[in-house]
Amino acid sequence: MSSSVSIETKIAGAVLPSCLYNASGPLCSTEDELHALGKSAAGAILSKSATREKRQGNEEPRYVETPWGSINSMGLPNEGYEYYAAFAEQAAAAYDKPYIMSVSGLSHEDNIHMIKALSGNKNVTAIELNLSCPNVPGKPQTGYDPEQTRYILDKVFEVAEHPVGVKLPPYFDIPHFEAMAEILNAFPLSFVTCINSVGNGLVIDPDRESVVIKPKSGFGGIGGDFVKPTALANVRKFYTLLDEQIAVIGCGGVKSGMDAFEHILCGASAVQVGTQYMREGTNCFARIGRELEEIMSRKGYKDIGSFKGRLKDL
Protein backbone atom coordinates (compact mmCIF):
# COMPACT_ATOMS: atom_id res chain seq x y z
CA MET A 1 0.00 0.00 0.00
CA SER A 2 1.26 3.46 -0.83
CA SER A 3 0.57 6.13 1.80
CA SER A 4 0.67 8.79 -0.93
CA VAL A 5 -2.52 7.36 -2.44
CA SER A 6 -5.93 8.24 -1.00
CA ILE A 7 -9.15 6.34 -1.61
CA GLU A 8 -11.14 8.80 0.50
CA THR A 9 -14.32 10.19 -1.02
CA LYS A 10 -17.24 12.49 -0.20
CA ILE A 11 -20.91 11.56 -0.43
CA ALA A 12 -23.80 13.77 0.65
CA GLY A 13 -21.30 16.28 2.06
CA ALA A 14 -19.71 13.68 4.35
CA VAL A 15 -16.17 12.36 4.14
CA LEU A 16 -15.79 8.58 3.74
CA PRO A 17 -12.28 7.43 4.69
CA SER A 18 -12.60 4.79 1.96
CA CYS A 19 -14.73 4.86 -1.17
CA LEU A 20 -15.63 1.18 -0.52
CA TYR A 21 -18.51 0.13 1.70
CA ASN A 22 -21.26 -2.43 1.92
CA ALA A 23 -24.33 -2.69 -0.28
CA SER A 24 -27.58 -2.63 1.63
CA GLY A 25 -28.34 -6.34 1.53
CA PRO A 26 -26.09 -8.91 3.12
CA LEU A 27 -24.82 -8.74 6.69
CA CYS A 28 -26.09 -5.30 7.69
CA SER A 29 -29.27 -6.22 9.56
CA THR A 30 -28.24 -6.68 13.18
CA GLU A 31 -26.36 -4.45 15.61
CA ASP A 32 -23.49 -6.96 15.58
CA GLU A 33 -23.24 -6.84 11.81
CA LEU A 34 -23.40 -3.04 11.78
CA HIS A 35 -20.69 -2.85 14.46
CA ALA A 36 -18.54 -5.23 12.40
CA LEU A 37 -18.87 -2.80 9.50
CA GLY A 38 -17.98 0.07 11.83
CA LYS A 39 -14.80 -1.69 12.94
CA SER A 40 -13.84 -2.71 9.40
CA ALA A 41 -12.13 -0.73 6.66
CA ALA A 42 -15.51 0.03 5.03
CA GLY A 43 -15.81 3.77 4.37
CA ALA A 44 -19.39 3.94 5.65
CA ILE A 45 -21.96 1.80 7.41
CA LEU A 46 -25.08 1.21 5.34
CA SER A 47 -28.00 -0.48 7.06
CA LYS A 48 -30.28 -3.16 5.64
CA SER A 49 -33.28 -1.70 3.82
CA ALA A 50 -35.79 -0.95 6.55
CA THR A 51 -39.52 -1.25 6.43
CA ARG A 52 -41.89 0.47 8.83
CA GLU A 53 -42.38 -2.73 10.83
CA LYS A 54 -39.98 -5.59 11.48
CA ARG A 55 -40.19 -8.32 8.80
CA GLN A 56 -39.17 -11.97 8.67
CA GLY A 57 -38.78 -11.81 4.89
CA ASN A 58 -39.37 -14.65 2.46
CA GLU A 59 -39.15 -18.39 3.08
CA GLU A 60 -35.77 -20.15 2.97
CA PRO A 61 -33.75 -21.10 1.03
CA ARG A 62 -33.67 -17.53 -0.22
CA TYR A 63 -29.97 -16.85 -0.94
CA VAL A 64 -27.80 -19.17 -3.04
CA GLU A 65 -24.24 -18.72 -4.31
CA THR A 66 -23.34 -19.79 -7.81
CA PRO A 67 -19.88 -19.88 -9.41
CA TRP A 68 -20.60 -16.51 -11.02
CA GLY A 69 -22.46 -14.74 -8.27
CA SER A 70 -25.66 -15.11 -6.32
CA ILE A 71 -29.42 -15.24 -6.54
CA ASN A 72 -31.55 -13.95 -3.69
CA SER A 73 -35.12 -13.42 -2.79
CA MET A 74 -34.70 -12.25 0.78
CA GLY A 75 -37.92 -10.22 0.84
CA LEU A 76 -36.56 -7.43 3.05
CA PRO A 77 -36.04 -9.25 6.34
CA ASN A 78 -35.18 -6.46 8.77
CA GLU A 79 -35.72 -5.21 12.31
CA GLY A 80 -37.91 -2.25 11.40
CA TYR A 81 -36.70 1.31 10.84
CA GLU A 82 -36.75 2.34 14.49
CA TYR A 83 -34.04 -0.23 15.25
CA TYR A 84 -31.75 1.23 12.57
CA ALA A 85 -32.57 4.78 13.61
CA ALA A 86 -31.58 3.92 17.19
CA PHE A 87 -28.29 2.38 16.02
CA ALA A 88 -27.27 5.76 14.61
CA GLU A 89 -26.31 7.00 18.07
CA GLN A 90 -24.03 4.02 18.67
CA ALA A 91 -22.48 4.44 15.23
CA ALA A 92 -21.74 8.13 15.84
CA ALA A 93 -20.22 7.42 19.25
CA ALA A 94 -18.00 4.58 18.10
CA TYR A 95 -16.96 5.17 14.50
CA ASP A 96 -15.50 7.97 12.47
CA LYS A 97 -17.46 7.25 9.31
CA PRO A 98 -20.92 8.05 7.96
CA TYR A 99 -23.94 5.97 8.90
CA ILE A 100 -26.39 5.75 6.02
CA MET A 101 -29.88 4.31 6.48
CA SER A 102 -31.56 2.41 3.69
CA VAL A 103 -35.33 2.78 3.63
CA SER A 104 -37.64 0.58 1.58
CA GLY A 105 -41.26 1.10 2.53
CA LEU A 106 -43.92 -1.29 1.33
CA SER A 107 -45.94 1.75 0.27
CA HIS A 108 -45.29 5.40 -0.52
CA GLU A 109 -46.96 6.28 2.78
CA ASP A 110 -44.52 4.06 4.68
CA ASN A 111 -41.55 5.72 2.98
CA ILE A 112 -42.84 9.19 3.83
CA HIS A 113 -43.61 8.14 7.40
CA MET A 114 -40.10 6.74 7.94
CA ILE A 115 -38.28 9.64 6.31
CA LYS A 116 -40.32 12.14 8.32
CA ALA A 117 -39.73 10.22 11.54
CA LEU A 118 -35.96 10.27 10.95
CA SER A 119 -35.97 14.08 10.83
CA GLY A 120 -33.92 15.47 13.65
CA ASN A 121 -31.79 12.31 13.95
CA LYS A 122 -28.44 14.04 13.56
CA ASN A 123 -26.54 10.76 13.69
CA VAL A 124 -27.99 9.54 10.41
CA THR A 125 -25.72 10.96 7.72
CA ALA A 126 -27.99 10.28 4.75
CA ILE A 127 -30.87 8.14 3.54
CA GLU A 128 -30.69 5.70 0.64
CA LEU A 129 -34.26 5.27 -0.57
CA ASN A 130 -34.53 1.83 -2.14
CA LEU A 131 -36.75 2.04 -5.21
CA SER A 132 -35.69 -1.31 -6.58
CA CYS A 133 -36.24 -4.35 -4.38
CA PRO A 134 -37.46 -7.09 -6.74
CA ASN A 135 -38.31 -9.59 -4.02
CA VAL A 136 -41.51 -8.60 -2.27
CA PRO A 137 -44.31 -10.62 -3.87
CA GLY A 138 -46.99 -8.34 -5.28
CA LYS A 139 -44.87 -5.17 -4.97
CA PRO A 140 -43.45 -3.75 -8.21
CA GLN A 141 -40.06 -2.05 -8.40
CA THR A 142 -40.90 1.66 -8.23
CA GLY A 143 -37.75 2.53 -10.17
CA TYR A 144 -39.26 0.94 -13.28
CA ASP A 145 -42.24 3.29 -13.15
CA PRO A 146 -41.17 6.86 -13.99
CA GLU A 147 -44.39 8.49 -12.81
CA GLN A 148 -44.39 6.63 -9.48
CA THR A 149 -40.74 7.60 -9.05
CA ARG A 150 -41.56 11.26 -9.65
CA TYR A 151 -44.51 11.03 -7.25
CA ILE A 152 -42.54 9.51 -4.39
CA LEU A 153 -39.61 11.90 -4.84
CA ASP A 154 -42.00 14.86 -4.79
CA LYS A 155 -43.41 13.66 -1.48
CA VAL A 156 -40.02 12.72 -0.02
CA PHE A 157 -38.50 16.12 -0.63
CA GLU A 158 -41.46 17.79 1.06
CA VAL A 159 -40.44 16.12 4.33
CA ALA A 160 -36.78 15.05 4.14
CA GLU A 161 -34.29 16.83 6.38
CA HIS A 162 -31.42 14.48 5.53
CA PRO A 163 -29.52 14.22 2.28
CA VAL A 164 -31.39 11.62 0.21
CA GLY A 165 -30.20 9.30 -2.53
CA VAL A 166 -32.00 6.53 -4.39
CA LYS A 167 -31.05 2.95 -5.13
CA LEU A 168 -32.07 2.16 -8.67
CA PRO A 169 -32.77 -1.03 -10.53
CA PRO A 170 -30.69 -1.71 -13.64
CA TYR A 171 -31.91 -0.17 -16.89
CA PHE A 172 -31.21 -1.70 -20.27
CA ASP A 173 -32.47 0.74 -22.87
CA ILE A 174 -31.18 4.22 -23.62
CA PRO A 175 -34.62 5.93 -23.62
CA HIS A 176 -35.23 4.46 -20.16
CA PHE A 177 -31.95 5.94 -18.86
CA GLU A 178 -32.91 9.29 -20.34
CA ALA A 179 -36.44 9.27 -18.95
CA MET A 180 -35.20 8.40 -15.46
CA ALA A 181 -32.37 10.93 -15.55
CA GLU A 182 -34.79 13.70 -16.47
CA ILE A 183 -36.90 12.87 -13.41
CA LEU A 184 -33.92 12.46 -11.07
CA ASN A 185 -32.42 15.78 -12.20
CA ALA A 186 -35.61 17.54 -11.08
CA PHE A 187 -34.87 16.78 -7.42
CA PRO A 188 -32.12 17.78 -4.96
CA LEU A 189 -30.80 14.22 -4.75
CA SER A 190 -27.39 13.71 -3.21
CA PHE A 191 -26.65 10.42 -4.93
CA VAL A 192 -27.98 7.51 -6.96
CA THR A 193 -26.81 3.97 -6.36
CA CYS A 194 -26.52 1.84 -9.50
CA ILE A 195 -27.50 -0.99 -9.41
CA ASN A 196 -29.68 -3.20 -7.29
CA SER A 197 -29.69 -6.86 -8.30
CA VAL A 198 -30.90 -7.77 -11.78
CA GLY A 199 -34.43 -8.68 -10.78
CA ASN A 200 -36.29 -11.89 -11.39
CA GLY A 201 -33.54 -14.07 -12.75
CA LEU A 202 -33.80 -17.83 -12.51
CA VAL A 203 -31.09 -20.24 -11.44
CA ILE A 204 -31.87 -23.93 -11.71
CA ASP A 205 -30.29 -27.16 -10.55
CA PRO A 206 -30.39 -29.54 -13.53
CA ASP A 207 -29.64 -32.60 -11.35
CA ARG A 208 -32.63 -32.00 -9.12
CA GLU A 209 -34.50 -30.48 -12.07
CA SER A 210 -35.64 -27.70 -9.76
CA VAL A 211 -35.20 -24.09 -8.88
CA VAL A 212 -32.65 -23.27 -6.13
CA ILE A 213 -34.53 -20.76 -3.99
CA LYS A 214 -38.00 -21.17 -2.54
CA PRO A 215 -39.77 -17.78 -2.89
CA LYS A 216 -41.51 -16.72 -6.10
CA SER A 217 -41.04 -20.16 -7.72
CA GLY A 218 -37.30 -19.61 -7.82
CA PHE A 219 -37.23 -16.09 -9.32
CA GLY A 220 -34.78 -13.77 -7.60
CA GLY A 221 -32.30 -10.92 -7.88
CA ILE A 222 -28.99 -11.76 -9.56
CA GLY A 223 -25.75 -10.30 -8.21
CA GLY A 224 -22.04 -10.88 -8.61
CA ASP A 225 -19.83 -11.35 -11.67
CA PHE A 226 -22.60 -11.58 -14.23
CA VAL A 227 -24.06 -8.19 -13.40
CA LYS A 228 -20.82 -6.18 -13.60
CA PRO A 229 -21.20 -5.08 -17.25
CA THR A 230 -24.77 -3.98 -16.54
CA ALA A 231 -23.69 -2.16 -13.39
CA LEU A 232 -20.87 -0.38 -15.22
CA ALA A 233 -23.25 0.64 -18.00
CA ASN A 234 -25.70 2.10 -15.48
CA VAL A 235 -22.97 3.96 -13.59
CA ARG A 236 -21.61 5.35 -16.86
CA LYS A 237 -24.96 6.41 -18.31
CA PHE A 238 -26.15 8.12 -15.14
CA TYR A 239 -22.76 9.76 -14.64
CA THR A 240 -23.10 11.36 -18.06
CA LEU A 241 -26.83 12.21 -17.77
CA LEU A 242 -27.19 13.44 -14.20
CA ASP A 243 -26.38 16.90 -12.91
CA GLU A 244 -22.93 17.15 -11.39
CA GLN A 245 -24.16 17.51 -7.81
CA ILE A 246 -25.76 14.03 -7.90
CA ALA A 247 -23.01 11.53 -7.10
CA VAL A 248 -23.22 8.07 -8.63
CA ILE A 249 -22.43 5.14 -6.36
CA GLY A 250 -21.46 1.95 -8.15
CA CYS A 251 -22.69 -1.44 -7.01
CA GLY A 252 -22.51 -4.73 -8.87
CA GLY A 253 -19.87 -7.36 -9.47
CA VAL A 254 -17.18 -5.82 -7.26
CA LYS A 255 -14.81 -8.39 -5.85
CA SER A 256 -11.40 -6.88 -6.56
CA GLY A 257 -9.60 -3.56 -6.61
CA MET A 258 -9.77 -3.67 -10.40
CA ASP A 259 -13.56 -3.98 -10.33
CA ALA A 260 -13.72 -0.93 -8.06
CA PHE A 261 -11.28 0.91 -10.35
CA GLU A 262 -13.55 0.21 -13.33
CA HIS A 263 -16.62 1.50 -11.52
CA ILE A 264 -14.80 4.73 -10.62
CA LEU A 265 -13.50 5.11 -14.18
CA CYS A 266 -17.15 4.96 -15.32
CA GLY A 267 -17.99 7.77 -12.89
CA ALA A 268 -18.65 6.23 -9.47
CA SER A 269 -17.80 8.42 -6.47
CA ALA A 270 -18.02 5.40 -4.18
CA VAL A 271 -18.39 1.67 -4.66
CA GLN A 272 -20.54 -0.78 -2.71
CA VAL A 273 -19.80 -4.48 -2.27
CA GLY A 274 -22.63 -7.01 -1.95
CA THR A 275 -22.13 -10.64 -3.04
CA GLN A 276 -18.39 -10.56 -2.28
CA TYR A 277 -19.03 -9.09 1.19
CA MET A 278 -21.44 -11.95 1.83
CA ARG A 279 -18.71 -14.42 0.77
CA GLU A 280 -15.67 -12.91 2.41
CA GLY A 281 -17.00 -10.90 5.32
CA THR A 282 -15.70 -7.50 6.40
CA ASN A 283 -12.09 -8.32 5.38
CA CYS A 284 -13.11 -7.63 1.80
CA PHE A 285 -13.06 -3.86 2.38
CA ALA A 286 -9.41 -3.73 3.45
CA ARG A 287 -8.32 -6.20 0.75
CA ILE A 288 -10.18 -4.49 -2.12
CA GLY A 289 -8.99 -1.12 -0.80
CA ARG A 290 -5.36 -2.30 -0.83
CA GLU A 291 -5.75 -3.64 -4.36
CA LEU A 292 -7.29 -0.36 -5.52
CA GLU A 293 -4.47 1.63 -3.93
CA GLU A 294 -1.90 -0.56 -5.68
CA ILE A 295 -3.56 0.00 -9.05
CA MET A 296 -3.72 3.76 -8.44
CA SER A 297 -0.13 3.86 -7.33
CA ARG A 298 1.00 1.95 -10.42
CA LYS A 299 -0.94 4.29 -12.68
CA GLY A 300 0.19 7.44 -10.86
CA TYR A 301 -3.24 8.44 -9.52
CA LYS A 302 -3.12 10.10 -6.11
CA ASP A 303 -6.85 10.20 -5.43
CA ILE A 304 -10.03 8.91 -6.99
CA GLY A 305 -10.85 12.34 -8.44
CA SER A 306 -7.82 11.92 -10.73
CA PHE A 307 -9.56 9.22 -12.78
CA LYS A 308 -13.24 9.30 -11.81
CA GLY A 309 -15.41 9.33 -14.93
CA ARG A 310 -12.41 9.52 -17.27
CA LEU A 311 -13.37 6.46 -19.29
CA LYS A 312 -12.21 6.95 -22.88
CA ASP A 313 -14.18 6.23 -26.03
CA LEU A 314 -12.34 4.59 -28.89
Residues found near ligand SIN in the complex (CB under 6 A): 25, 49, 74-76, 130, 132-135, 196-197, 221
Residue 154, CB-side half-sphere exposure with 13 Å CA sphere: 7
3-state SS of 46-99 is ECCCECCCCECCCCCCCEEEECCEEEECCCCCECCHHHHHHHHHHHHHHCCCCE
Q: CB-wise, 197 or 234, nearer to ligand SIN?
A: 197
**Shortest Cβ distance from residue 209 to ligand SIN (Å)?**
26
- In the DSSP assignment, the letter for residue 142 is G
CA pair distance 157, 168, nearest whole angstrom: 17
Q: Is 133 one of the catalytic residues?
A: yes
Looking at beta carbons only, is 25 or 69 nearer to ligand SIN?
A: 25
Q: How far is the CB of 59 from ligand SIN (least distance, A)?
A: 12
CB of 57 to ligand SIN, least distance (A): 6
Identify which of residues 134 and 267 has a Cβ nearer to ligand SIN in the complex. Answer: 134
Instruction: Give 10 or 108: the residue with its C-beta nearer to ligand SIN.
Output: 108
The DSSP H or E segment spanning 269 is: strand 268-273
Active-site pick, 133, 194, 251, 284: 133
For 140, counting Cβ atoms within 10 Å of its Cβ (0-12 exposed, 13-18 middle, 19+ buried), the class is exposed
| Secondary structure element (H or E) that encloses residue 10, with its range | strand 9-11
CB of 254 to ligand SIN, least distance (A): 16
Could you tell me the smallest distance in angstroms from the CB atom of residue 17 to ligand SIN? 26
Class of residue 309 by CB neighbours under 10 A (exposed 0-12, middle 13-18, buried 19+) = middle
The residue (of 142 and 282) whose beta carbon lies closer to ligand SIN is 142
Where in the sequence numbering do the catalytic residues fall?
133
